[in-house]
């Protein structure tokens, strides 16, 4: 759905200022310098977007319930960012917000442009996996970046994004201790996945023309309703907290935290976000298994994160016992099972 237009936006902000008190059509018409008939038309536009507005043609108007939609006029309200989510495209449905953001990247859209969808028909995850994206429950967004630093720093952007997601999830769950980053970029609550990040980039010779950070966060979906393939390891904030999450406030906080982490990363690379990453990294000392991309399976004990973002693992059995392996990309299996007793 396209944005509400200037007239409707002006009416919305005038009604918001009333904090639920009525505003007469006459006042609105004088304030905005448009006819009462046009006011009525704009009110109709807002109602179609899901805003509850009481009132009759010629009478007073009162703003009631707001729609549970990630509209720009809601998320950008009070948003404190300097460059993230100033350009904001909201889609009711798309195949994949990463695909759309990639297209905007090619068209020259500015860094910080976000695409937000209410649902995705082909949401994609790492390693060619699907990302389940039912309508109006969760947050599916892609952010366009134009990294100017060293090409070597680009892969660790995803670790900075994971910090921002973990911080936001922690703030809404109300307890950072329940939240962890499963290297490189899944965010878990009580060891169940609530968020995944997929970064895709476009290179031009030896430089990155742009990168797209696609973030999917399960917010209000009931975890019992996940399709079988996801149910065992997936959860949502609402399922963990026992109450729905304000998706608009969540998106706003996420964009603010992303800006902080991505700006820090742009200035100082992974080093600059590493302390926060480590605050959510709880795998050290645990047995893990890794399917290396295009490589073999490694089983060992996770040691920690190297300065370049690699996961370091010590092999504890077999002929390679004692060897320390650095994994740059792969899929980690935590040997410690999901906690069911809660
Ligand atoms: C993963 O879990 O492996 C990553 C999942 C990333 C999903 C998000 S949802 C928004 C964006 N659009 C996509 O198609 N994928 C990412």
Q: For domain 5-63, is the CATH number 1.10.10.10?
A: yes
Residue nearest atom 7 of ligand 1, based on CA coordinates: 216
Say what percent of the chain tops pLDDT 90. 76
The predicted model gives 292-321 an average pLDDT of 87
pLDDT single digits (tens) 31-67: 999 999 999 999 999 999 999 999 876 678 999 999 9
What confidence score (pLDDT) does residue 1 get?
59
Query: Which pLDDT band, with edges at 50, 70 and 90, does 333 fall under?
Result: confident
Distance 215 CA to ligand 1 centre (A): 5
Residue nearest atom 15 of ligand 1, based on CA coordinates: 124
Give the three-class secondary structure for 60.
Answer: strand
Ligand 1 pocket check: which of 123, 143, 229 to mutate, most ligand atoms within 8 Å of Cβ? 123
Distance 66 CA to ligand 1 centre (A): 27
Query: Which pLDDT band, with edges at 50, 70 and 90, does 4 fall under?
Result: confident
Confidence check: pLDDT of 71 > 90 = yes
Both structure tokens of 215: 């973030």
299 burial type by CB count under 10 A (0-12 exposed, 13-18 middle, 19+ buried): middle
Distance 293 CA to ligand 1 centre (A): 18
Both structure tokens of 278: 């480590």
- Residues with C-beta less than 6 Å from any ligand 1 atom: 96-98, 120, 123-126, 129, 131, 140-142, 196-198, 214-216
Given the DSSP bridges, would you call strands 88-91 and 114-117 parallel, antiparallel or unpaired?
parallel
Distance 196 CA to ligand 1 centre (A): 6
198: nearest Cα among 208, 184, 182, 210:
184
Overall residue count recorded for the chain in this entry: 342
Domain boundaries, the chain: 5-63, 72-280, 287-333
> Which atom of ligand 1 is found nearest the CA of 196?
2
Residue nearest atom 11 of ligand 1, based on CA coordinates: 214
Both structure tokens of 145: 């970046």
Distance 268 CA to ligand 1 centre (A): 26
Distance 170 CA to ligand 1 centre (A): 20
Give the three-class secondary structure for 227.
Answer: coil
Query: Which pLDDT band, with edges at 50, 70 and 90, does 69 fall under?
Result: very high
Strands (E), the chain: 23-24, 53-55, 60-63, 88-91, 114-117, 139-145, 179-182, 186-189, 192-204, 207-217, 287-292, 297-305, 311-314, 324-327, 330-334
> Which atom of ligand 1 is found nearest the CA of 97?
12
CB 220 within 8 A of CB 236: yes
159: nearest Cα among 304, 52, 61:
304
What confidence score (pLDDT) does residue 2 get?
67
Residue nearest atom 16 of ligand 1, based on CA coordinates: 214
CATH architecture of 287-333: Roll (2.30)
> Which atom of ligand 1 is found nearest the CA of 195?
2
Query: Which pLDDT band, with edges at 50, 70 and 90, does 341 fall under?
Result: very low
CB 202 within 8 A of CB 106: yes
> pTM of the prediction?
0.93
88: nearest Cα among 260, 257, 218, 255:
255
> Which atom of ligand 1 is found nearest the CA of 117?
10
Q: CA triplet 200, 205, 211: central angle to 5 degrees?
A: 20
Residue nearest atom 2 of ligand 1, based on CA coordinates: 196
What confidence score (pLDDT) does residue 340 get?
44
pLDDT single digits (tens) 143-176: 999 998 888 889 899 999 999 999 999 999 999 9
CB 286 within 8 A of CB 302: yes
What confidence score (pLDDT) does residue 204 get?
86
Give the three-class secondary structure for 49.
Answer: coil
Distance 34 CA to ligand 1 centre (A): 44
Distance 96 CA to ligand 1 centre (A): 8
Sign of CA dihedral 74, 79, 81, 82: positive
Ligand 1 pocket check: which of 98, 218, 329 to mutate, most ligand atoms within 8 Å of Cβ? 98
What confidence score (pLDDT) does residue 342 get?
34
Distance 123 CA to ligand 1 centre (A): 6
What's the fold here for domain 72-280?
BirA Bifunctional Protein; domain 2 (3.30.930)
pLDDT single digits (tens) 180-239: 999 988 999 999 999 999 999 998 888 899 999 999 999 999 999 999 888 888 999 999
Both structure tokens of 149: 């630093």
What confidence score (pLDDT) does residue 181 get?
96
53: nearest Cα among 32, 22, 7, 17:
22
The residue among 149 and 89 whose pLDDT is bigger is 89
Query: Mean pLDDT across the chain, nearest whole number?
Result: 92
Query: Which pLDDT band, with edges at 50, 70 and 90, does 294 fall under?
Result: low
What confidence score (pLDDT) does residue 250 get?
98
């Amino acid at each position: 759905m396209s944005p509400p237009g200037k007239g409707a936006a002006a009416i919305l902000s005038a009604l918001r200022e009333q904090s639920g008190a009525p505003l007469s059509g006459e006042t609105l018409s004088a304030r905005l310098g448009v006819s009462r008939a046009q006011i009525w038309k704009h009110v109709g536009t807002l109602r179609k977007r899901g805003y509850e507005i009481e009132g009759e043609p010629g009478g007073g108007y009162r703003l009631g319930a707001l729609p549970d939609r990630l509209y720009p006029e809601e998320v950008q309200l009070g948003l404190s960012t300097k460059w993230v989510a100033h350009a904001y495209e909201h889609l009711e449905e798309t195949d994949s917000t990463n695909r759309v953001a990639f297209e905007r990247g090619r068209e020259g859209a500015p860094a910080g442009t976000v695409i937000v969808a209410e649902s995705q028909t082909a949401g994609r995850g790492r390693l060619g996996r699907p990302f389940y994206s039912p309508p109006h429950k969760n947050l599916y967004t892609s952010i366009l970046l134009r990294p100017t630093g060293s090409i070597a720093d680009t892969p660790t952007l995803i670790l900075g994004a994971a910090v921002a997601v973990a911080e936001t999830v922690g703030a809404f769950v109300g307890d950072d201790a329940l939240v962890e980053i499963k290297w490189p970029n899944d965010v878990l609550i009580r060891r169940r996945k609530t968020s995944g990040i997929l970064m895709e980039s476009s290179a031009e010779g030896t430089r990155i023309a742009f990168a797209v950070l696609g973030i999917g966060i399960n917010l209000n979906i009931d975890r019992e309703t996940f399709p079988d393939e996801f149910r065992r390891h997936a959860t949502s904030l609402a399922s963990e907290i026992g109450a729905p999450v304000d998706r608009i406030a969540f998106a706003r906080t996420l964009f603010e935290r992303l800006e902080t982490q991505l700006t820090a990363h742009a200035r100082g690379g992974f080093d600059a976000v590493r302390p926060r990453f480590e605050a959510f990294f709880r795998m050290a000392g645990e047995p893990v298994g890794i399917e290396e991309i295009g490589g073999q399976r490694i089983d060992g004990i996770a040691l920690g994160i190297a300065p370049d973002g690699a996961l370091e693992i010590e092999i504890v059995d077999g002929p390679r016992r004692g060897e320390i392996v650095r994994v740059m990309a792969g899929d980690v299996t935590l040997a410690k099972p999901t906690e069911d007793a809660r």
